[in-house]
Amino acid sequence: MIAGPCSAETEEQVLAIAHQLKETETSIFRAGIWKPRTRPGSFEGVGAVGLPWLQRARSETGLKMAVEVANKAHVEEALKADIDVLWIGARSTVSPFIVQEIADALAGTDKVVLVKNPVNPDLSLWLGAVERLQKANINNLGVIHRGFSTYLKTKYRNNPEWQLAIDFQSHFPDLPLILDPSHMGGRRDLIFDLSQTGLDLNYDGLMIETHTDPDNAWSDAAQQITPAKFKQLIAELRVRSIDVDAKDFKIKIHTLRKQIDAIDSQILSNLGSRMKIADEIGRLKNDNNVAILQMERWNEILERMKLAGNSQSLSEKFITELFKAIHQESIEHQHTIIKNKP
Ligand SMILES: O=C(O)C(=O)C[C@]1(C(=O)O)C=C[C@@H](O)C=C1
């Protein structure tokens, strides 16, 4: 559990929050000292003067201290202050130059370094940042999933894109994966559900912004909660185990998974049959000099499937993505046919 204010504001604020969090499940206290803000003019952090506040909070509470670092100077200051955990923010992870600068400044450290996902949903940037740190011989690594920018309007400040984090994990299965529901949701009322989803997906930890007076926080007021609310939220969360030994569970899940395997094979075989028909249409189009893309027909299929999906409790988003992928594959098949048989 990592908790603490978005920003360190005053020494009193840091100490008050840390003392309240000491009575909770928190093991690491977070506080932004240098705050990268999208636009100039808002509070950009107290800077290095806040580091002694964190040192005092650590000696009074025993909590480990975490700050964000965004360049070489920040790393040097944070290491000098013996901060325990340093995290690289989403706006830094997008920049290989900055990540390299931070990695060089941290080279060989045994401090814990956490890498937030890049602002945009680009898996390679996230992987690349971790690789740069590993190359600099930094071995106490972890990652933080805080969601991604999107031009689509969603209820989240940063869209979760859960699959991207799962893809990340398949590349680095041993790195601790932490969820940041505060930045993902951007709203207090979304923190619980996001946290529970994280635990259901077997995340290793949570980073939650907490403040003694959230409404008057100097940054990100809408997404912070009081230490008391944090304590209650943690108590209500259900931590899942990856597996249980219960015989009944094992038998039931085995049977259900067999059913899924059979249905998956059926889906694949149906897709293969559909593609064979698309190939035939491709040959017909080629013989008659007809264009591959048939917008009207494609729209008709999509609308019909969305309606049918609805009655099977399948979301419009899922149906659209599924059929777009099928249509794309069909078009690629027809291209291959036309290329090979002019
Ligand atoms: O109906 C066609 O013309 C097809 O080639 C089939 C199909 C499809 O896969 O459904 C593929 C491409 C067209 O844009 C429309 C539909």
Coil, strand or helix at 99: helix
Specify the pLDDT at position 243: 80
Of 319, 327, 333, the one to substitute when testing ligand 1's pocket (max ligand atoms within 8 A of C-beta) is: 327
Distance between CA atoms of residues 26 and 62, nearest Å:
11
Q: Given the DSSP bridges, would you call strands 205-209 and 177-179 parallel, antiparallel or unpaired?
A: parallel
For domain 247-340, give the CATH superfamily. Chorismate mutase (1.20.59.10)
Averaged in consecutive runs of 10 residues, what is the pLDDT profile of the chain (342 residues)? 97 98 97 87 91 98 98 97 98 97 97 98 97 98 97 91 95 97 97 97 96 94 96 94 86 96 98 98 96 97 97 96 98 94 68
Upper half-sphere CA count for residue 127 (Cβ side, 13 Å): 14
CA of 257 to the centre of ligand 1 (A): 33
- Of 3.40.50.150, 1.20.1600.10, 3.40.50.1000, 3.20.20.70, which CATH number belongs to 2-236? 3.20.20.70
Specify the pLDDT at position 152: 83
For residue 6, the 8-state DSSP code is S
Tokens standing for 327? 């249509």
Ligand 1 binding pocket (C-beta < 6 A) is 278, 281, 293-294, 297-298, 301, 327, 330-331
Specify the pLDDT at position 210: 98
CA of 332 to the centre of ligand 1 (A): 11
Distance between CA atoms of residues 235 and 229, nearest Å:
10
Specify the pLDDT at position 342: 63
Q: Whose alpha carbon is nearest atom 1 of ligand 1?
A: 297
Specify the pLDDT at position 42: 84
Which pTM value belongs to this model? 0.83
Of 295, 330, 333, the one to substitute when testing ligand 1's pocket (max ligand atoms within 8 A of C-beta) is: 330
Distance of CA 308 to the CA centre of its chain: 31
Distance between CA atoms of residues 241 and 225, nearest Å:
27
Alpha carbon separation from 288 to 10, 222, 283, 340 (Å, rounded): 76, 61, 9, 16
Of ligand 1's listed atoms, the one at least distance from the Cα of 281 is: 5
Of 331, 333, 335, 336, the one to substitute when testing ligand 1's pocket (max ligand atoms within 8 A of C-beta) is: 331
For residue 95, the 8-state DSSP code is -
Coil, strand or helix at 297: helix
Please give the helix or strand (H or E) that residue 326 lies within, else none. Answer: helix 316-340
Specify the pLDDT at position 153: 84
Q: Rounded to 5 degrees, what angle do the CA atoms 137, 138, 144 make? A: 145
- To the nearest 10 degrees (0 to 180), the angle between helices 316-340 and 295-311 is 150
Of ligand 1's listed atoms, the one at least distance from the Cα of 294 is: 14
Distance between CA atoms of residues 309 and 257, nearest Å:
23
What is the phi/psi pair of residue 181, to 5°? Answer: -70, -20
Coil, strand or helix at 236: helix
**What are the residue boundaries of the structural domains of the chain, listed by start?**
2-236, 247-340
CA of 270 to the centre of ligand 1 (A): 16
Distance between CA atoms of residues 335 and 279, nearest Å:
9
Give me the residue label for tokens 């830094």: 92
Of 295, 296, 297, the one to substitute when testing ligand 1's pocket (max ligand atoms within 8 A of C-beta) is: 297
Please give the helix or strand (H or E) that residue 55 lies within, else none. Answer: helix 51-61
Of ligand 1's listed atoms, the one at least distance from the Cα of 295 is: 14
ipTM of the complex: 0.97
Longest dimension (CA), the chain: 81
**CA end-to-end span of the chain:** 63
